[in-house]
């Protein structure tokens, strides 16, 4: 059974004991093992702070991690910050890098010639 489910024999024994003692309800998921570190009110404060911007307008995950630590005295890992943001509807935004010497008029002419 353990090999079929790709778990340890100890897990199967634990599940069998729980089933014997509490029935099928004892096998139901009890949810994630830990609750979110930031409450909805704290996340709203974090969003407000992120909305104010940063010196060069780029919020990196490391900067957000540091901000969370300073504001709430809660430690997150960089991947944990990414999961927190994704869970709350944020997405990865990458700035478009353009040269200072960019000539928009020449680009428009080139686009028209190459892509009719």
Q: What is the pLDDT of residues 7-41, one digit of tens each?
A: 999 999 999 999 999 998 998 887 767 677 899 99
Query: Would the pTM count as exceeding 0.85?
Result: no
11-20 residue pLDDT tens: 999 999 999 9
Kindly indicate the confidence band of residue 68, based on its pLDDT and cuts at 50, 70 and 90.
very high
> Rounded distance, CA 26 to CA 29, Å?
8
Q: Which residue has the higher pLDDT, 115 or 42?
A: 42
- Cα dihedral 102, 104, 109, 110, rounded to 10, equals 40
* Helix, strand, coil abundance in the chain, percent, nearest 5: 60, 0, 40
The answer to whether 50 and 89 are in contact (CB under 8 A) is no
C-alpha–C-alpha distance, residues 11 and 1, integer Å: 10
């Amino acid at each position: 059974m353990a090999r079929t489910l790709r778990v340890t024999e100890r897990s199967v024994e634990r599940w069998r004991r729980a089933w014997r003692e509490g029935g099928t309800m004892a096998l139901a998921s009890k949810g994630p093992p830990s609750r979110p570190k930031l409450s909805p009110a704290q996340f709203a404060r974090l969003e407000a702070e992120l909305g104010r911007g940063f010196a060069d307008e780029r919020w990196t995950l490391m900067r957000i991690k540091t901000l969370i630590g300073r504001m709430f005295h809660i430690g997150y890992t960089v991947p944990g910050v990414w999961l927190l943001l994704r869970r709350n509807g944020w997405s990865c935004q990458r700035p478009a890098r353009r040269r200072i010497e960019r000539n928009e008029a020449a680009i428009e002419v080139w686009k028209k010639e190459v892509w009719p």
